[in-house]
Amino acid sequence: MLTFTLAVSLGLGIILCFMGYRFFRVAMALGGFAIGAAIGYFIYPFVAEHLPDADNGIWLLAFMGLAGLLLAFLSYSIYKIALFYISALFTAFIILKTFLLGFGGIGVAAFIKTTLWKTAIVGGTDFITDYQVSDKGTVGDLIKKALDFLPGETDMEKLGAVLLAAMIVGAVVGIIVCVLQKPAIIVVTAVMGAFLSAQGLVSLLESFDQLDLSAETVIANFSVGGESVVLSSLLTVVLIVAGIVVQFKTTKKMT
């Protein structure tokens, strides 16, 4: 399941990166699916205790898949409006991810969820917080360092500050994309696709030696992220440049 999920992420990322403008409505649907899956991931803890066998991870994947499909359909239907909120939310996510890279490669989902509440995923344990990130300590240790760096007295104030800053920048980018249209769409879809492709490819390579098909492995990867932060970052940059160049060359006659 983990390998299949990452392969899908890689495939969708390639389409976005190199054909985002040519297949604009499809690109918006793919971006909507990725954002919807993240929304489903955050909604799940509120209803988990009311579901049977909530600890096996299957329900969480169902929430992510359903929310992803719903937002994908909505984004495809109102693709012009989706251009703004997808650009804004992806920009905010990338800003958060870049900030957290400085603290050992913490996943955005792990940072937000651990700050808001402790989420039991595996056997009643705090799986996200206790997850070891190479030799840099646990996710909980790295998140504490990130929170100490932020302004504010409480964890909620610190989280609110970084989310507000990311959303403001994201909104500005969303407006710029809507105004500039073609060049901005090419850049945004190349960035989105490069991020998904790099994350999917690196995590896919990491999963081959584990051959763990449980739902928990998918959740762990989504929550914490891959361990090869440097490789993933370099690959993302290379794919962004390649995606922008390819899209501009293949869409010269398109307006």
Task: Specify the pLDDT at position 1.
Answer: 45
Report for 52-66, 101-115, 156-170, 201-215: range of highest mean pLDDT: 156-170
Residue 162 domain-assigned?
yes
Query: Per the structure, how many domains does the chain have?
Result: 1
Task: Tell me if 183 is assigned to some domain.
Answer: yes
pTM confidence score: 0.74
254 domain-assigned? no
Domain membership flag for residue 255: no
Tokens of 157: 């104030």
Q: Is 13 part of any domain?
A: yes
150 found inside a domain? yes
Question: Cα torsion for 106, 107, 110, 113, to the nearest 10°?
Answer: 120
- Buried residues in 87-125 as b, exposed as e (16+ CB within 10 A): bbbbbbbbbbbebbeebbbbbbbbbbbbbeeebbbbeee
In a domain, 7, yes or no: yes
Rounded Cα distance, 48 and 60, in Å: 8
Q: How confident is the model at residue 63 (pLDDT cuts 50, 70, 90)?
A: confident
Range of the domain at 129: 2-249
pLDDT at 201 over 60: yes
> Which of the two residues, 145 and 25, has the higher pLDDT score?
25
Instruction: Tell whether 141 is covered by a domain.
Output: yes
Q: Which is higher by pLDDT, 117 or 125?
A: 117
Which pLDDT score, from 0 to 100, does residue 123 have? 39
- Give the pLDDT band of residue 5 (cuts 50, 70, 90): low
71-121 pLDDT tens trace: 999 999 998 888 899 889 888 988 888 887 777 667 777 777 777 765 544
Task: Provide the terminal-to-terminal Cα distance of the chain, rounded to the nearest Å.
Answer: 40
Residue 168's pLDDT band (boundaries 50, 70, 90)? very high
